[in-house]
Amino acid sequence: MYQLNYRSTSSIGLGYNDLEDILNTAITVNSEKNISGCLIYHNDNFVQILEGNKKDVLQVYEKIKVDKRHHTVTLLWENEVPNRFFPEWNMAFYRPDDKNVQQFVSNLLLLSQFSDRSSGSLLSFWATVQRILREGMVSQYQKV
C-alpha cells in the first residue's frame, strides 16, 4: 500500500460549484482505481492524503498537479505502508454553514490530535491539517 500527501492553494474565485466538481470527479476516479484518503479544504488551502496502488496514486497525483483550480501543489510525503488508514473513504464532502464553522474546525482539530500517525505521510498530513486550521483561526480573530 502506498500513501502520498500534498498541500495546495485554491485559485482565486474558487467557489462551491468548483468544490462539487472536484468531489464528483474524485468519487469517480478514486472508486475506479480503489484509492482512498482524505481531502481537507479550509481558508483557500487544500491538504490531501491518497492511498492505494502506487502506480494509481501517482497517476491521480499527476492529474491533480495540473488542475487549474489550485496552484502551488507541494508534495509533503510519500511512503509504502502496511495497510490503509482510510479504507472506507474514497471521497466525502462536508460544508458547515457559517454558524457551525468554528465547531467544525474544533472537531477537526480534535480528530487530528487523536488520529493514527504511524507513517510519515499520516504524521505530515495531520500536522498540515492542524496548521491550516490554526492559520484560519488566527486570521479569523484578526478580522474581528
- pLDDT truncated to tens, each residue of the chain (144 aa)? 999 999 999 999 998 899 889 988 888 999 999 999 888 888 888 999 999 999 999 999 999 999 999 999 999 999 999 999 888 765 545 555 566 767 777 777 677 676 766 777 888 888 888 888 887 654 443 333
Residue 55 belongs to what domain range?
2-143
Instruction: Give the separation between CA 90 and CA 105, rounded to whole angstroms.
Output: 22
Residue pointed to by grid coordinates 488542475: 67
Cβ contact 90:14 at 8 Å: no
Number of domains in the chain: 1
**Which CATH number fits the domain that encloses residue 75?**
3.30.70.100
